[in-house]
A and B are shown apart, each in its own frame.
Chain A
Amino acid sequence: MKFEHVVCPLCGCLCDDLELIVERNEVISTKNACALSRSMFLNLNADLAKPLIEGKETGIEACVDKAIGIISKADYPLVYGLASTESNAQRKAVELAELLGGAIDSTSSICHGPTVLGVQMMGEVTCTLGTIMNQADLVVFWGSNPVDAHPRHLTRYSLTPRGLFTPRGRKGRRMIVVDVRETKSSKLADRFIQLKPGTDFEALSSLRALIKGEKIDIDPELKELAEEMKSCEFGALLFGQGLTMSNGKNMNVNAALALVRDLNQHTKFAILPMRGHYNVTGADMVFTWQTGYPFAIDFSLGYPRYGPGEFSVVDLLSRKEVDVALIIASDPVSSLPAQASSYLSEIDTIVIDPNRSMTSEIARVVIPTARAGISAEGTAYRMDGVPIRLKKVLKSPYPSDYEVLCKIVNGVIDGRSKDS
């Protein structure tokens, strides 16, 4: 069976032009997919999770009941993950955290959390990816390596496509890469500026001073970059974790946001974060419309409070403040610093995930689910905020993340009404 216009639930590009051939509930070939995407689609049945309690296989109902029992007794539970699931599951997860008086956080806090803090400080002059395609004659990738991390970004959105006012495609566009090391992306660039590690902030501040017309003594390459940025017709600065997770973090983002904002006194310029997980943007969106805040939220007082550095996953775990962790569609054991992730094996950790992971290995309860975008429909938000409907292409024996979360929410409510 052939599926067309399939949306790829892998990275923040959320390409929606894939074709899949499915036979006997397996993807046997893909068209238009990048290497990462193809590898994902062709290996969907590897490492599937099974319903487990204390490492022993059991029925999914038993796992859900166990999870309800554990989480209902918690003094301060954490709900975490949610970047690789659809928005209905994210909505339900917020409801659960609120119901439990716990904390909720998404993987934003370990990738583009600093971006959010930057935006809250400075604002954000941005655009959708199609605006870059249609208008940009200059694209600057800063601390980001799209060739490896977002393989089709350059060909679908930012470098080679011909848009409404960019009929020459690649030929009409300058590509600049600013990074601390050579990458596959820097090799494609018309100009590569290599920074000393940990000096992004100084470079961005210097550029801002130059754009303002101040005279400062810096690398001539940066002076040329400032001129290029000022004189383009429509520029875009696309930044990745090389900026958000290096020395200076949210301050680096502040400087980049301010630079782009200031450039708009001379030309049109936009800035976009190159967000990783396919629906981490959706987690920000859903959390924000339901609570006002995009990540690192606490409900222990019955209302939402915002606390990056306080209610964010690394901090709650490192300080050992939570007593139960519910991990949804994420693998913190492999992605968090050891001092944080090791605590997950000390407390009751529940995992809701279609796949086995390092986190499911240490969890007390594992609830397997139908993978969003593969075996469950729903909404995902592209890195630029464009919402796209995910497709269901394979059948799964398990319920979706959303369905499991509904059961848990209902179970917690039922348990309470029995108690009272």
Chain B
Amino acid sequence: MEDLKIVNGIVYDPLNGIDGERLDIHVSGGKIAERAKAQRVIDVKGMVVMPGGVDIHSHIAGPKINMGRRLRPENHRTAPVPKTDVTRAGVGGGLSSTFVTGYRYAAMGYTTVMEPAVPPLMARHAHEELNDIPMVDKGCYVLMGNNEYIISHIHELNKVENYVKWLLNAAKGYAIKAVNPCGSDNWKWGENVHGLGEKGVKFDATPKEMITTLSEVNKRLKLPHPLHLHTIDLGVPGNYETTLETLEMLKGKRAHLTHLQFNCYGGSSWKDLSSEAGGIAEKVNDSKITVDSGQVIFGDVTTMTADAPWQYRLYRLSGNKWVNNDVEVECGGGIVPYRYRKKNSVNATQWAIGLELLLMIEDPWRVYLSTDNPNGGSFTSYPYIIKLLMDKKFRKEELSTLHQNASSTSLPDIDREYTLGEIATITRGATAKSLGLKNKGHLGVGADADIAIYPLKEDIAKMFSKASYVIKDGDLVVGKGKIISEKYGKTFMLDFKEKVEPDPDVREFFKYYTVDIENYPVEMAYLPRYEAIKCG
């Protein structure tokens, strides 16, 4: 690893308050340094320098995405990716293979990606795939919102706290994820939940209790990232009331509501579905909550969530092939291919809502760019979304090609255009901060030397789709949007400072598993390169 000096770039480093200053960046030993005795100087005159992108929510590894890949050979067939002297072959449709996933993120200047939904029983699988994703650092969130141990101990906070800590450690996960809390468990009996106060089919717990319990445990454990919540009633017309209720319930607390676009719907059916993004944005503005947008992109996608009853609903709506998997004691999940169409009133409205959220939530430190890859669209669409945010004229042009209902939202009236500094915030600075990754998302001294350098182009989408240079941990890995050297990043896990033992009744509960508790925790062999982030 040689020292580097990157000179003459225009630097956007929002975490350090740098907003388009001409600065030199020094890299030594894989870190940003005060001053490096660099042999190698990269002159990036006229280019934009940002910290490497940090994606807070993208399904890239594990049983669900892999079942999706297996389900869709027709999707891969049209998107082959040949091997090169430095990169592996694969496929790059909406469900890219592991190697291609890493290359494509890196080409866009992203260097950290979090997989947001891992069933702990399958965590080994997720880690195996993460280890086959090159170029980026990564981590995973552990599904807990339908865990039957937690559901059945919902009022015993200490027990849940200890269990959650043990489970995070066993799965080598980074954060608590809840998906349709209690709803997906009900799906094991063919039901869902409707409303935060509804009790389960087999258990007394309500979504409200599950959310507050997990958020409280998250606080007690001082986890670096807040509770990552895919809330109930996702995708359902009229769900904005539940979303407002959820936001009210979490007021003053730390929580992250993910792919919020899917939870901002007014109306009472698909026919009269409308945007309620305005009210939701106002409520978010008024809280400590962070959110990511969950933008939809027109075209073919493969939807996949641990919200199994929602996936069933989507199967019934679309008639497309449907995968469901109920995982013992822990969760479930589903997969359905879907096509977002410009001329479909619902899809056009969904498209507008994603942008409304990003434009109407005032504080860029609390709203992040995402497509819920691959649900709303591929992560490779990020440059297109950035252009929509930065270019009002382009937004209007796109809007004019859509079903008219998209124009009944407030989007046509919004004049806001993101600045490069704000883009840097919603794609790296703020996401790194929300994740509690102190060495990511900025270019201050001591930070990991993950740097993205973009050509300043008229077409913003082109600018962000192919970085001129990407530096990962101090190594130059991308040149002119192409991988020039393959490198494997590390996996983030948590450091609880002390050994975590399960309660005796967790051992007892394992009689409802088909795997021995001794064989359950993921061994360190699955994290060949890792960084443990201290809790607290």
Q: Which of A128, A292, A379 has the most CB of B within 10 A?
A: A292
Measured between beta carbons, the chain B residues less than 8 angstroms from A127 are 324-328, 332
Q: Would you call A387 and B128 a contact (CB within 8 A)?
A: yes
Measured between beta carbons, the chain A residues less than 8 angstroms from B148 are 164
Query: CA of A321 to CA of B321 in the docked complex: distance in angstroms?
Result: 34
Say yes or no: is B525 at the interface (Cβ < 8 Å to chain A).
yes
Count chain A residues whose beta carbon lies closer than 8 angstroms to a beta carbon of B: 63
Measured between beta carbons, the chain A residues less than 8 angstroms from B73 are 120, 292-293, 306
Chain B nearest CB, measured from A80 CB (Å): 19
Chain B nearest CB, measured from A380 CB (Å): 10
User: What does the 1/0 interface line of B52-79 toward A look like (CB < 8 Å)?
Assistant: 0000000001010011011111101100
A-B Cβ contacts below 8 A, count: 183
A119-B71, A386-B122 known; A288+B66 contact, CB < 8 A: yes
Query: Which positions 494-536 of chain B face chain A at CB distance < 8 Å?
Result: 512-516, 518-519, 523, 525
Q: Would you call B328 and A119 a contact (CB within 8 A)?
A: no
Measured between beta carbons, the chain A residues less than 8 angstroms from B514 are 128-130, 133, 156-157, 386
Q: Would you call A388 and B519 a contact (CB within 8 A)?
A: yes
Query: CA of A14 to CA of B148 in the docked complex: distance in angstroms?
Result: 24
Which one of A4, A131, A164 contacts B327 once the chains associate, using CB atoms below 8 Å?
Answer: A131
Query: CA of A16 to CA of B519 in the docked complex: distance in angstroms?
Result: 7
Q: Would you call B88 and A128 a contact (CB within 8 A)?
A: no
Say yes or no: is B95 at the interface (Cβ < 8 Å to chain A).
yes
Say yes or no: is B383 at the interface (Cβ < 8 Å to chain A).
no
Query: CA of A268 to CA of B312 in the docked complex: distance in angstroms?
Result: 12
Q: Would you call A377 and B525 a contact (CB within 8 A)?
A: yes
User: What does the 1/0 interface line of A102-141 toward B look like (CB < 8 Å)?
Assistant: 0000000000000010011111111111110111000000
Query: CA of A418 to CA of B440 in the docked complex: distance in angstroms?
Result: 41
Say yes or no: is A234 at the interface (Cβ < 8 Å to chain B).
yes
Measured between beta carbons, the chain B residues less than 8 angstroms from A126 are 323-326
Q: Is the interface of A mostly helix, strand, loop or mixed?
A: mixed
Say yes or no: is A5 at the interface (Cβ < 8 Å to chain B).
yes
A293-B73, A304-B91 known; A123+B335 contact, CB < 8 A: yes
Say yes or no: is A68 at the interface (Cβ < 8 Å to chain B).
no
Measured between beta carbons, the chain B residues less than 8 angstroms from A242 are none
Say yes or no: is A299 at the interface (Cβ < 8 Å to chain B).
yes
Measured between beta carbons, the chain B residues less than 8 angstroms from A133 are 328, 512, 514
Q: Would you call A289 and B69 a contact (CB within 8 A)?
A: yes
Chain B, interface size: which category?
35 or more
Q: Would you call B98 and A123 a contact (CB within 8 A)?
A: no
Query: Which positions 14-59 of chain A face chain B at CB distance < 8 Å?
Result: 16-17
Measured between beta carbons, the chain B residues less than 8 angstroms from A91 are 132
- Which residue of the partner chain A has the closest CB to B326? A127
Query: Which positions 94-125 of chain B face chain A at CB distance < 8 Å?
Result: 95, 97-99, 121-122, 124-125
Q: Would you call A16 and B516 a contact (CB within 8 A)?
A: yes
Q: Is the interface of B mostly helix, strand, loop or mixed?
A: mixed
Query: Which positions 338-380 of chain B face chain A at CB distance < 8 Å?
Result: none
Measured between beta carbons, the chain B residues less than 8 angstroms from A123 are 71, 315, 320-323, 335-336
Q: Would you call B66 and A303 a contact (CB within 8 A)?
A: no
Q: Would you call A125 and B95 a contact (CB within 8 A)?
A: no
A156-B514, A379-B128 known; A291+B324 contact, CB < 8 A: no
Measured between beta carbons, the chain B residues less than 8 angstroms from A234 are 188-189
A129-B328, A288-B69, A292-B73 known; A302+B519 contact, CB < 8 A: no
Query: Which positions 401-429 of chain B face chain A at CB distance < 8 Å?
Result: none
Measured between beta carbons, the chain B residues less than 8 angstroms from A389 are 124, 519, 523, 525
Say yes or no: is A294 at the interface (Cβ < 8 Å to chain B).
yes
Query: CA of A5 to CA of B507 in the docked complex: distance in angstroms?
Result: 14
- Which residue of the partner chain A has the closest CB to B322? A123
Measured between beta carbons, the chain B residues less than 8 angstroms from A386 are 121-122, 514-515
Chain A nearest CB, measured from B201 CB (Å): 10
Query: CA of A387 to CA of B130 in the docked complex: distance in angstroms?
Result: 14
Say yes or no: is B90 at the interface (Cβ < 8 Å to chain A).
yes
Q: Which of B70, B99, B124, B321 has the most CB of A within 10 A?
A: B70
Which one of A122, A267, A302 contacts B190 once the chains associate, using CB atoms below 8 Å?
Answer: A267
Measured between beta carbons, the chain A residues less than 8 angstroms from B525 are 377, 389
Say yes or no: is B244 at the interface (Cβ < 8 Å to chain A).
no
Q: Would you call B90 and A304 a contact (CB within 8 A)?
A: yes
Chain A nearest CB, measured from B115 CB (Å): 12
Q: Would you call B312 and A264 a contact (CB within 8 A)?
A: yes
Query: CA of A121 to CA of B73 in the docked complex: distance in angstroms?
Result: 10
Q: List 21 A-B contacts (CB under 8 A).
A: A5-B516, A119-B70, A119-B71, A120-B74, A121-B321, A125-B324, A127-B325, A127-B327, A127-B332, A130-B328, A134-B512, A164-B329, A233-B189, A270-B326, A289-B69, A290-B88, A292-B76, A292-B97, A299-B89, A303-B80, A304-B76
- Residues of A bordering B, CB below 8 Å: 4-5, 7, 16-17, 87, 91, 95, 98, 116, 119-131, 133-135, 156-157, 163-165, 233-234, 261, 264, 267-268, 270, 284-286, 288-294, 299, 301-306, 377, 379, 381, 385-389
Known: A292-B97, A302-B83. 5 other contacts (CB 8 A): A128-B325, A267-B190, A292-B95, A304-B97, A386-B122
- Residues of B bordering A, CB below 8 Å: 61, 63, 66-67, 69-74, 76-77, 80-83, 88-91, 93, 95, 97-99, 121-122, 124-125, 128-129, 132, 148, 188-190, 202, 312, 315, 320-329, 332, 335-336, 512-516, 518-519, 523, 525
Enumerate the 8 nearest inter-chain pairs by beta-carbon distance, A residue then B residue, closest first: A130-B328, A123-B321, A292-B91, A303-B80, A292-B76, A127-B326, A302-B82, A387-B124
